[in-house]
Amino acid sequence: MNEKKLGLGSVIATGVGLVVASSCLLSIGIGTSAIGVTFVITMVIACIVNILTLLSIAELNALMPDLTGGLAQYSLACVGPFITIICMSGGYVLCNTMAGSVECAMFANTVSGLFPQLGLPPWVFCTLLVIFLMITNLNGVDMFVKVQDFVAYALIASLAIMGIMGALGLGTGEIVEQPAVLASDFSNVTGLCGLAFFLFVGGEYVVPLTKEVKNAKRNIPLGMVLSMLIILAMQIFLTFGFKNYTRWGELGESATPHILYGEMLLGPIGKYWMVIVSLLATVSSVNTIMSSLSYILMGMSKIELLPEFFRKTNKKGAPYVGILLEEGIYIIINVSGLSTTDAISFLISVLAILWMISYIISNINVILLRRRLPNAPRTFKLPFGPLIPLLGIVGTAYMIYNIDPDWAVKLELYKICAIMIAVLTVYSFLWVKFKVKRPMFKPYPVKEVMAMENELYAKHHRK
């Protein structure tokens, strides 16, 4: 585990791996069918705002490097344990567990619908996929890298080829005559920023792997930014491809718009190619979630915000408790049918709000540490003082406000998020009060947070 194994290519593969998911392909279909190719402007805005936050996270990582939990430890040193638990439990643990379940469900539903003659319920396909990914992750970072590199770059190549073919009108299907722009006013373009946010969320998942990255001070920030730009380029091509080969109405009604597009572009070949893309997207995103989230759980355990059994690793160095827990939750949720309803797009919006709140906290962390430790050495530091994190805060808050153009839907989303945060608040209060026994809002010293990474800290603290 001491030898660094991940280069820039693997960092990009990990960044792309979580972001490009089946749920994202659904989100592109929803956005483009609503306003047409002007959704490209919405995506550019969301991409820029997300990059600002990723740069803030890169500075935090440069100040406090090699921390397993990443964002959890940064927040602990800035806003104290109470807010950190709410932010990480909602914005990452709960959010990504549900996101992984949704990915598995979308893939399983797709395969089940294409092969009805097998007579198997969707959860069977989900279970087989989750078991395969569990085995690869239990075999440590080497196996994770091999699977992720192959899957992510096969996914990038497939989407790029099909997007470019569609945008240039090179498909074998019939080109559709329809208006390119359905809405161009400012409110409609920015009103879907919350939806577009989910197309770029998760690039920071490379941070827990920093200890395995070669030349991390360069490859971490560069890899996160390049992964966002690569994703943006692919999605722009797909948007113009949708315009050329799929009618807006059919695109908006489809639960699998990418498969509809593949069939309209290349016939049966395109349809099955997009099924393969769905498999690649699901494997890539769930593989990244399963690996990185298990390390985040381990990191939160090291700073005493979760039970200590999350620190346990197997002979391969994999945090197996977190991996097994995620696998079990994915299977239970899919077997119960909770993630196979028609409300997947609504669930995506709920997850996006929780994730955006954690992004706002990350930007606040940069500003706080700039004030408290202005002269501390940082291998990467944002220019222009607090301007970039402030822009990240404002931009992310604006996307929360524009999570949905329908006020009734928006208020329902806010209500559900408020309930979830209230539950997490109770849990956080009880854990900090009776387990951690430290001041709720008092930040930990940076040196102590970094020392907590070492197993000797836990042994000494228990004594």
- Write out the DSSP string of 196-254: HHTTSTTGGGGGGGGGGBTTHHHHHHHHHHHHHHHHHHHHHHHHHHHHHHS-HHHHHH-
* Among 31-45, 112-126, 232-246, 260-274, the least confident range: 112-126
* Among 98-112, 188-202, 353-367, the least confident range: 98-112
What's the confidence (pLDDT) of residue 437?
87
Mean pLDDT of 412-422: 90
What's the confidence (pLDDT) of residue 68?
64
Return the axis-axis angle of helices 71-88 and 268-302, rounded to nearest 10°.
100
Mean pLDDT of 28-52: 92
Mean pLDDT of 260-271: 90
Top pLDDT among 438 and 463 is at 438
What's the confidence (pLDDT) of residue 288?
76
Start-to-end C-alpha separation, the chain:
28
How high does pLDDT run on average in the chain? 83
Mean pLDDT of 390-405: 88
Residue tagged 């807006």 (tokens) = 248
16 half-sphere exposure, CB direction, 13 A CA radius: 31
Top pLDDT among 3 and 349 is at 349
- Band of the pLDDT at 393, cuts 50, 70, 90? very high
Residue tagged 């893939």 (tokens) = 107
Residue tagged 């390119």 (tokens) = 180
What's the confidence (pLDDT) of residue 71?
76
What's the confidence (pLDDT) of residue 353?
86
What's the confidence (pLDDT) of residue 458?
60
Mean pLDDT of 188-193: 84
Top pLDDT among 455 and 138 is at 138
Structure tokens at 88: 């990480």
Three-state SS letters, 37-101: CCHHHHHHHHHHHHHHHHHHHHHHHHHCCCCCCCHHHHHHHHHHHHHHHHHHHHHHHHHHHHHHH
pTM confidence score: 0.82
Q: What are the two backbone dihedrals, phi and then psi, of residue 225, each rounded to the nearest 5 degrees?
A: -65, -45
Q: Can you say how many angstroms the Cα of residue 389 is from the centroid of all Cα atoms in its chain?
A: 20
What's the confidence (pLDDT) of residue 456?
64
Residue 165 has pLDDT above 90, yes or no: yes
Give the Cα separation of 460 and 463 in Å (integer). Answer: 5
What's the confidence (pLDDT) of residue 341?
47
Top pLDDT among 11 and 82 is at 82
Mean pLDDT of 141-149: 67
* Among 133-147, 181-195, 268-282, the least confident range: 133-147
> Structural domain boundaries of the chain?
8-453
What's the confidence (pLDDT) of residue 380?
81
Give the Cα separation of 269 and 246 in Å (integer). Answer: 16
In percent, the amount of the chain with pLDDT more than 90 equals 20
3-state helix, strand, coil split of the chain in percent (to 5) is 75, 0, 25
* CB-CB contact of 210 with 66 (8 Å): yes
Helix boundaries (H) for 313-385: 320-336, 344-372
Mean pLDDT of 132-145: 76
Mean pLDDT of 224-235: 90
Q: What are the two backbone dihedrals, phi and then psi, of residue 213, each rounded to the nearest 5 degrees?
A: -100, 130
Give the Cα separation of 70 and 295 in Å (integer). Answer: 9
Q: Can you say how many angstroms the Cα of residue 329 is from the centroid of all Cα atoms in its chain?
A: 18
Residues contacting residue 364 through CB under 8 Å, at least 6 positions apart: 78, 79, 389, 393
Collapse the DSSP code of 6 into the 3-class scheme (helix H, G, I; strand E, B; otherwise coil) and give the result.
strand
Which CATH fold would you assign to the domain 8-453?
Amino acid/polyamine transporter I (1.20.1740)
Give the Cα separation of 198 and 13 in Å (integer). Answer: 18
What's the confidence (pLDDT) of residue 164?
93
